[in-house]
Structures are given as C-alpha cells and as structure tokens.
Amino acid sequence: MFRGPPRLIYVRWIGALCSFAPLLLFILLSALLRILTFEAFMWAFLRFSPMILFGYFLDVIYKHIPKVSKSRYPIVQIIAGWLISFPLSQMIGEFLYYLIIRDPSYLILYSQDIVGTLLGLILLGLIYSFFFYSVYMIFLRWYLVRKLEPYMKSRQEAKPTPPSKKKKKPKEKKTSS
C-alpha cells in the first residue's frame, strides 16, 4: 500500500499538507482533552510552522544532496531531506517561541548539550520522515487518481471493441488410399 512510484513525484502543496497534519492532530487532541490554552496553541503553531515550510520546499533540499538526488528510491530522498530539515525546523521553532515568550529555558538545552540534542533531533527526524512518507504516499495516490480520473473515463469510453476472430478449421490431412 505504501509502495512509492519508481521515481519520486513531489507535489509541494501535498508536502505542506502532510506537514500540517501533526499540527492539526495536536490542536484537535488538545481541544478534545480541554488543555488547549493560548500558550499551547502558540507553542504548537510556532513549532510546526517551520515544518510546514520545510515540507513545502523538501524537494529543493533533497535535490541538493549529491548522492541522494540520484537515488531511485523515493523513501531515501524523503528520509534524507527530513534528516536535515527536521532538526533545523525544530531549532527555528524553539527560537521563534523564545522570541515571543521570552523564557530562556527553551534555549538552554541547545547551549548545554548540543551533541545530544542534535542526535535526538536527528532520530526524531528519522521517525518523522517515515510517517511523512506514508502520509505523503496516501495523499499522492489520492491526488493522482483524482487528477487522472477524466483521462481514464474517456479512455474507457473510447476503447474499441476487439474484433471477433473467426476460428479456423484445422486442415484435414489427405490420406492416400
């Protein structure tokens, strides 16, 4: 079901939509549990906004990685793109949240344990890339089916009926008597 096309077809608005899905799920679950405050909404919006932006321009990112851009497997390109984009988007989101809230505790983690934080963000980027790939392939298949549907209907209507083949009688062998 999640098998990708032989070559990655990246539609930018679908990438942004797939990156918007975690924000939507967070807001819906927070609202359902009645813990959605203004601060939680700002945290989610500022944390996921860079991810939506990176999801939109993911094809630009993975095309600039030399070995990855020539890979014929779409999942390799998606994973490589998010291994770079996810840590950057999280750091940008934390910095944006710090600019609005002015609480330095959000930036202390990056100054105390840079290597551990970066490794953790890369691991989370790897996990996120698998989820992104699966959601992206579902949305891409839906989009391609909807986009190609008019062509498929006209093709089925214009399909000529195959000519009926007459059965040839086998030639009888003449026997000499």
How many domains does one find in the chain?
1
**167, two tokens:** 């059965």
The answer to whether residue 168 sits within a structural domain is: no
The answer to whether residue 73 sits within a structural domain is: yes
Question: Are the beta carbons of 59 and 10 closer than 8 angstroms?
Answer: yes
Stated pTM of the model:
0.75
24 to 48, 81, 101, 102: CA distances (angstroms): 10, 22, 22, 25
The answer to whether residue 2 sits within a structural domain is: no
**37, two tokens:** 């405050």
The answer to whether residue 150 sits within a structural domain is: yes
Average pLDDT over every residue of 68-77: 87
The answer to whether residue 177 sits within a structural domain is: no
pLDDT of residue 176: 64
Tens-place pLDDT, residues 25-40: 999 999 999 998 998 9
Range of the domain at 153: 12-157
pLDDT of residue 174: 67
3-state secondary structure of 38: helix
The answer to whether residue 1 sits within a structural domain is: no
- Give the single-character DSSP code of 37: -
Q: Is the pLDDT of residue 75 over 60?
A: yes
Rounded CA-CA distance 140/10 in Å is 8
